[in-house]
Amino acid sequence: MKVRFITKIWHPNISSVTGAICLDILKDQWAAAMTLRTVLLSLQALLAAAEPDDPQDAVVANQYKQNPEMFKQTARLWAHVYAGAPVSSPEYTKKIENLCAMGFDRNAVIVALSSKSWDVETATELLLSN
């Protein structure tokens, strides 16, 4: 069974690029007797309790461990942008708008700012290098 997120999500155990999920029951612990319910319950548990020491996305895991509050704000912003959740961080939204006004692609801006701890200067350098 292949399971992945098609909605972008900021989570240590889910690739922010591909949506691939780092969950043992989807890989080496898979058993033919597992049901869709089992898979969904396991995903729900993973979303509620990340495993940053076994990450799918090292950048997200590092932010999760080093700056939990920034991780939460970034995750909320991604939920707003990609899943329609309420606006959570006007400060982060303003940084996105400012870089988009310079002509950068919105998704690229969000990824750059998120991965560079919302530092506009280093995010801009990343955007210019691509």
Catalytic machinery residues: 22
Whole-angstrom Cα distance, residue 45 to residue 112? Answer: 28
Within 10 A of 59 (CB to CB), how many other CB atoms are there?
A: 16
Q: Which residue has the tokens 């988009």?
A: 100
Within 10 A of 84 (CB to CB), how many other CB atoms are there?
A: 8
Residue 68 token pair: 């939990």
Whole-angstrom Cα distance, residue 46 to residue 35? Answer: 17
CA angle 66, 117, 80 (to 5 degrees): 105
